[in-house]
Structure 1
């Protein structure tokens, strides 16, 4: 081996060693950065979305319930509870939506030694719609005291997001400026959406929508229309023959030929209603989507689903 070859191999070895050293340093550094992030656990998608929009680069989120599931009837496993044990902050909806958080997760966590963990019910002290006139199954009555679907309304979602923001700047005050910038952007988006709903639904020919699932009370209350549904607040219920027949009669009475359903769930009985109504009236019936926003779907995120809901509501209510 000549001198040039030895020199080349020596330089190559140095380069390899330096590269390896830098790789190790980078791995340690990135691991340390990741570990310095706030560990946040969220109950389900809309809370995750709002939290991520504010927390951004300084939080690490674990969402317990999978996207596009049935929030009322989902149950956490031991692994979900273990994931929540290491959290610095836990955000959940409340209002009887993710009742499993209060019944199955939080009681276990109360027995652990993490006294610095912060737990936030994002609908606490907000004005909620009381669930009056609904039939309650004995094993679920305490889950149905309120309409839990607050996150569907941009007006209510803004108030929930503000609670998330206020928590983050207290727990992680060194990044307050960052969180504030992110919050201001999200706040503006939600306020603009609220304004769009108020303006876009202020003048309509109709004032009633017909839905598969009566989950839109916070929209009807704020934006001035009513809803009639095949089922009540829990999407895992099945409509009776009587309720379907009653809904068809109401559709005929209101001379409405638009039905709404959320694509996360089966449209089987909505298709049945459509067929029966078309048969009895001879009119074409249109089915439009009205998202519950429990996960990304149709390539739409949370805000985009809100925007699409407004467009479809304007169609069904015949906005002027």
Structure 2
């Protein structure tokens, strides 16, 4: 009788004991490309929570109450910074000091590019924060992605020492994948390096700089603001003068502008997406994001007039 009682107590303790899943660090990530990198680092440990799972704009998104609660329960919050996730800036100031915040734009070693300021790209709005002088789309450079992976792995290893070896191993494997993938894209994009094109807004500078591409301007400064009639007139003149082959819209924003801009011309239209609006969230979505961009550029630009 006593033996059965002991066995029953032992079974009960096993059932109510905290599992490894319950003790996982609660990681909140803002946008899909960064979430993909964090997911790869956490493979075998847990799954990070993604704040913006669809095609929402990080400039104008409104948090749901459940998402605010999730942020306040987080162990680590990973974001780029207020120049990308504008909607999150105020909420971040309300989080407990116990929550570790990883602001990726401040990670040492990144190759940072200044926002382009000219008539082709429109004049950038002045902002008192020097951070807004930096182009924040840092994840679109594979070199930056490798540094981001290492920074995230280091942060997770510090707050979850029990899984540090796994984070490190996953990060090492992910960096190797990024290097191999980068070589593939370089070969794919080499034939179109000199071909001029226009983008919807200036979000791709890191990708263009890394692969030596020839973007010559943007339709609008901000994806949320419609360009003036004068701006569209200037752009139509530029299409002819610079023999632009393709104009790219984005899935989240009004593509009718592109149709208006290229109407009556031989300029083709394509789609570029810096956030992966339609991608399934997960480890592979970072690679799919960049691969889709490369495919779209090559398909549109290599087509003869």
Q: TM-score, normalised by structure 1?
A: 0.77
Matched, 1:186 2:168: no
Matched, 1:46 2:33: yes
Secondary structure at 2:78's aligned position in 1?
Answer: strand
Question: Does the 8 Å CA contact 1:296/1:302 hold for their aligned counterparts?
Answer: no
Structure 1 counterpart of 2:157: 169
Q: CA deviation at 1:316?
A: 4.2
**Where in structure 2 are the equivalents of 1:206-285 lying within 5 Å?**
206-227=194-215, 228-232=217-221, 234-275=222-263, 279=264, 281=265, 283=266, 285=267
* Higher deviation after alignment, 251-260 or 289-298: 289-298
Q: 1:82 aligned to 63, 69, 72, which one?
A: 69
Q: CA deviation at 1:40?
A: 0.8
**Higher relative contact order at CA 8 Å, sep ≥6: structure 1 or structure 2?**
2
Q: CA deviation at 1:34?
A: 2.3
Matched, 1:104 2:93: no
Structure 1 counterpart of 2:290: 306
Question: Does the 8 Å CA contact 2:57/2:252 hold for their aligned counterparts?
Answer: no
Q: CA deviation at 1:26?
A: 8.2
Residues 247 and 57 of structure 1: CA distance in aligned 2, closer, same or farther (over 3 Å): same
**Where in structure 2 are the equivalents of 1:21-40 lying within 5 Å?**
28=16, 32-40=19-27
Q: CA deviation at 1:52?
A: 1.0
Residues of 1 paired with 2:116 and 2:142: CA distance?
23
Residues 42 and 122 of structure 1: CA distance in aligned 2, closer, same or farther (over 3 Å): same
Q: 2:43 aligned to 40, 56, 73, which one?
A: 56
Question: Does the 8 Å CA contact 2:25/2:75 hold for their aligned counterparts?
Answer: yes
Q: 1:121 aligned to 99, 103, 114, which one?
A: 103
Q: CA deviation at 1:28?
A: 4.1
Give per-residue Cα distances to partners, 1:15-61, cap 9 Å, x unaligned: xxx9xx98x888646x6332111111112222211111111232342
Unaligned runs of 5+ in 2: 1-7
Question: Does the 8 Å CA contact 2:199/2:248 hold for their aligned counterparts?
Answer: yes
Q: 1:65 aligned to 49, 52, 62, which one?
A: 52
Question: Does the 8 Å CA contact 1:150/1:218 hold for their aligned counterparts?
Answer: yes
Residues of 2 paired with 1:298 and 1:165: CA distance?
23
C-alpha root-mean-square deviation of aligned residues, in Å? Answer: 3.0
Give the number of equivalent residue pairs.
Answer: 285
Unaligned runs of 5+ in 1: 1-17
Question: Does the 8 Å CA contact 1:51/1:164 hold for their aligned counterparts?
Answer: yes
Question: Does the 8 Å CA contact 1:293/1:302 hold for their aligned counterparts?
Answer: no
Question: Does the 8 Å CA contact 2:140/2:290 hold for their aligned counterparts?
Answer: yes
Q: 1:130 aligned to 105, 109, 114, which one?
A: 114
Q: Which has the larger radius of gyration?
A: 1
Question: Does the 8 Å CA contact 1:38/1:58 hold for their aligned counterparts?
Answer: no
Give per-residue Cα distances to partners, 1:78-133, cap 9 Å, x unaligned: 543322122111111127212443x3122111xx3x53x32111231323222252
Residues 71 and 240 of structure 1: CA distance in aligned 2, closer, same or farther (over 3 Å): same
Structure 1 counterpart of 2:4: none
Residues of 1 paired with 2:22 and 2:148: CA distance?
27
